[in-house]
Amino acid sequence: MCGRFAQYLRGAELDAHFGASLDGALLPPRYNIAPGSLLLAVRADPAGTRTFATLHWGLIPSWAKDRNIGYRTINARAETVAEKPSFRAAFRQRRCLIPADGFYEWQATGSGKQPYFIARRDRQPFAFAGLWETWTDPGTGKRLDSATIIVTDANDVVSPIHDRMPVILTPAAYGVWLDPTRTRPETLTPLLKPCDPAPWFAYPVDRRVNTPSEDGPALIEPWSSMIQEPELRASR
């Protein structure tokens, strides 16, 4: 699964990568985005124009009676996303890109779970395959847009740490994923596979990231020389 990630890059580089213009006041850079909080996403309108949007992390289906279901839908499994009632409508009609600069996974150790930060070696931004949905609160009539991150099997970098990872799309696939005319699952599911491990690396970080209220660039600094441990040499 993917339970924490970072979105900190801003400016022309981010705009150019995603083909959209970000209002700098939309969301500040963040290093520890947790379920239930706001995240930055890229959506496309029917004409294909891309825009940035803020969505709540944890997809709330339009038919849900209350928003609490969102805490159980932060991730959608690639193997079942096209059929599962919570996600199938969004998979066909409301796909999005979720920009990221890195994500966290936890490895079980003798002293507890150790968080690792996984990022591109060149530190370029990338995108998770996401879905979004609009839910209307039956009590207040207020509309809420929310999102989920699709997950798949871990690649060779992540597998020593965790058996699952987010679906990370190549830039060449962004247009396909956002294309509103693509509604047939068989044209989309081939994208939902582990990404090439070559551009990626993982390293241990401070356990302060376990606390959702913690934030800041210090959270993604290497915590120790643990990256040299034998079980992670495959990720280097």
Instruction: Determine which one of 2, 96, 133, 195 is catalytic.
Output: 2
Q: What angle do CA 126, 199, 120 make, to 5 degrees?
A: 45
Cα 206 to chain centroid, rounded: 21
Secondary structure E strands in 61-217:
75-77, 95-100, 102-109, 112-120, 126-136, 143-153, 164-166, 168-169, 200-204
Place of tokens 């934030």: 215
Is 229 labeled as catalytic in the residue annotation? Answer: no
For the chain, what percentages of helix, strand and coil (3-state, to nearest 5) are there?
Answer: 20, 35, 45
| 17: its two tokens | 């990568």
State the amino acid at position 51 in one-letter form.
T
**What is the maximum alpha-carbon separation in the chain?**
55
Instruction: Determine which one of 96, 105, 133, 195 is catalytic.
Output: 105
Sign of CA dihedral 134, 91, 71, 61: positive
Q: Is residue 73 helix, strand or coil?
A: coil
Is 105 labeled as catalytic in the residue annotation? Answer: yes
- In 127-217, which ranges are continuous DSSP H helix? 171-178
Residues annotated as catalytic are: 2, 105
